[in-house]
Amino acid sequence: MINENYQFILEQIRKIRPQNTPKLIAVSKKQPLSKINEALNSGLRIFGENQIKEGIEKFSSLQTNFPDLELHHIGPVQSGNLRKLFGLFTYTHGVGSLSSLEELIKQATTRKSKIEYFLQVNLSREDSKSGFEKEDILKILPTISQYDSEYAQFHGLMTIGPANGDLGITRSIFRELNQIRKEHSPNAKLSMGMSGDYLIAAEEGSDYIRVGSAIFGERILK
């Protein structure tokens, strides 16, 4: 069932974007190993986890058997524990402050471990969300290359729709991030869209779409 769900969503976004189809990330947050193994055995290789610790517990033992595994950290990046990202996660989507960015680059360089990062932008301006304000991201993007190192590379921009799920507002937020990309960082990739708004994300130019419950079903773990 997991593979069927994944393929159904992938086909939907392919119809919207037959060229440059977004990469679909199967978000396995709070899902048991049995479901992850089912997904892996069905051929899925791109997964997302919100919590670094949970990701390590579930995926570190799977890397040997699945060397082509691509694991994305999609939760907020916190300076205190981001050192644990290295060695398992390929991408991190939630770098939401300058201090976290600087610490990420420092840790990557110290450990000589490569990671690609997205800057999270809080376009809904909700206090419950982390991320750069629009004014701040516009200041950072022209000089983003100075924050890159041999090991930590800027990959793109990420945003999340409003907490109330209003799809009209969600569309305007996704469109705004795409406009920021076009005007200020045309080579950046966009990470937008989840289970409730992935079609809108595909329509508005997302390159990575993060879908959990629509693929795996209800979350089980506490």
Residue 128 pLDDT: 79
- Whether 186 maps to a domain, the answer reads yes
User: To the nearest 5 percent, what fractions of the chain are helix, strand and coil?
Assistant: 40, 20, 40
- Among 180, 189, 219, 214, smallest CA distance to 199 is for 214
Residue 222 pLDDT: 55
- Whether 222 maps to a domain, the answer reads no
- Whether 221 maps to a domain, the answer reads no
- Among 108, 197, 192, smallest CA distance to 150 is for 108
How far does CA 100 lie from the centroid of its chain?
16
Question: For the chain, what is the domain count?
Answer: 1
Q: Which domain holds residue 143?
A: 2-16+23-216
175 phi and psi angles, rounded to 5 deg: -65, -40
- Whether 177 maps to a domain, the answer reads yes
- Whether 106 maps to a domain, the answer reads yes
| Residue labelled with tokens 């799809």 | 167
The CB density around residue 50, as the number of other CB atoms within 10 Å, is: 18
Task: Dihedral sign for Cα 83, 84, 88, 91, please.
Answer: negative
Q: How far apart are CA 85 and CA 41, in angstroms?
A: 25
- Whether 163 maps to a domain, the answer reads yes
Q: How far apart are CA 27 and CA 13, in angstroms?
A: 17
Q: How far apart are CA 121 and CA 107, in angstroms?
A: 22
- Pair 200, 167: CB distance under 8 Å: yes
CA angle in degrees (0–180, nearest 5) for 70-55-181: 55
Residue 56 pLDDT: 93
CATH number at residue 95: 3.20.20.10
pTM for the predicted model, two decimal places? 0.94
Length of the chain: 222
What tens-digit pLDDT sequence spans the chain (222 residues)?
899 999 999 999 999 999 999 999 999 999 999 999 999 999 999 999 999 999 999 999 898 899 999 999 999 998 888 889 999 999 999 999 999 999 999 999 999 999 999 999 999 888 778 899 999 999 999 999 998 889 999 999 999 999 898 999 999 999 999 999 999 999 999 999 999 999 999 999 999 999 999 999 877 765
Residue 221 pLDDT: 60
Q: How far apart are CA 95 and CA 75, in angstroms?
A: 9
- Whether 74 maps to a domain, the answer reads yes
Residue 200 pLDDT: 97
